[in-house]
Amino acid sequence: MTTNNLSGKNVVIIGGTAGIGLAAAQAAAALGANVWAAGRSEAHINKAKELSKGSFEVRQADTHDADSLEAIFNEAGTIDHLVSAAIGGERTLKPFLEQTEEQFKAAYDKLWGYAKVVRTAAPYLAADGSITLVSGSPARKIKPAQSPLSCVGASVENLVRCLAVEMAPIRVNVVSPGTIDTAMFDYFGAEKQEKLHQLTASHLIKRAGTAEEVAQGIIFVMNNSFTTGTTLDVDGGRILS
């Protein structure tokens, strides 16, 4: 039996206007939560407003802009559940030695963005609230030319364990997606589905996941009051393949 502890709760999702974050906003709103979904892209914001049909609030914010974050947190008041699914940085996918120092450092903007989200939200978090961040399976499933993804994801997962210890009884968890069929792969164009098939052919579940499936992982760690410091893999068995 699944217990819904989200009804009437205030949920703020940074990076909530597209992909996994948007799916989490829709799922939380469907469970009766008061949801604020924030994103940086005007196009994503407009699309999220259309999809929300008034079921949740949509705002503009950047993980590196404390003022825009503060405005949303202040509007929400007490935050029962904070989620950050924002990418926050540019990743250069090429072998480490072929990257410049600046390119490698840029990937860490995701970590710095998450840190700013948590620091800015901390005064607004309910004493029994939760924080959920999003990393990715490259943090522990290492492949060539993915060092920025792997290193930053591993840093996010370790940050979550540190925060879980320091911020208890506030619960802090991380959800780690595998290969997910989102707009991130749209650059493949007409070959997108074939490329996704190739990327997942060796996985235990031989298909790409959906944003909705990852969102259910986010809902789980928000709902489960006995879960903290946990990395929840929603990856189709990618890290085992």
Confidence (pLDDT) at 149: 92
Superfamily of domain 10-240: NAD(P)-binding Rossmann-like Domain (3.40.50.720)
pLDDT at 38 over 60: yes
Residue 162 and residue 13: Cα distance in Å, rounded?
21
- Residue extents of the structural domains in the chain: 10-240
Which one, of 115, 50, 106, lies nearest residue 82 by Cα? 115
Which one, of 233, 25, 235, 221, lies nearest residue 129 by Cα? 221
pLDDT at 184 over 80: no
pLDDT tens-digit map of 49-59? 999 999 999 99
Output the six-digit token pair for 174.
């991380």
Number of C-beta neighbours around residue 94 at 10 A: 13
What residues form DSSP beta bridges with 13? 37, 83
pLDDT confidence of 188, banded at 50, 70, 90? Answer: confident
Contact 47, 37 (CB under 8 A): no
pLDDT tens-digit map of 158-172? 999 999 999 999 999
The overall pTM is greater than 0.85: yes
pLDDT tens-digit map of 69-85? 999 999 999 999 999 99
Confidence (pLDDT) at 109: 95
pLDDT at 187 over 80: no
Contact 84, 63 (CB under 8 A): yes
pLDDT at 189 over 90: no
pLDDT confidence of 2, banded at 50, 70, 90? Answer: low
List the beta strands (DSSP E) in the chain.
10-14, 34-39, 57-60, 79-84, 125-134, 171-177, 231-234
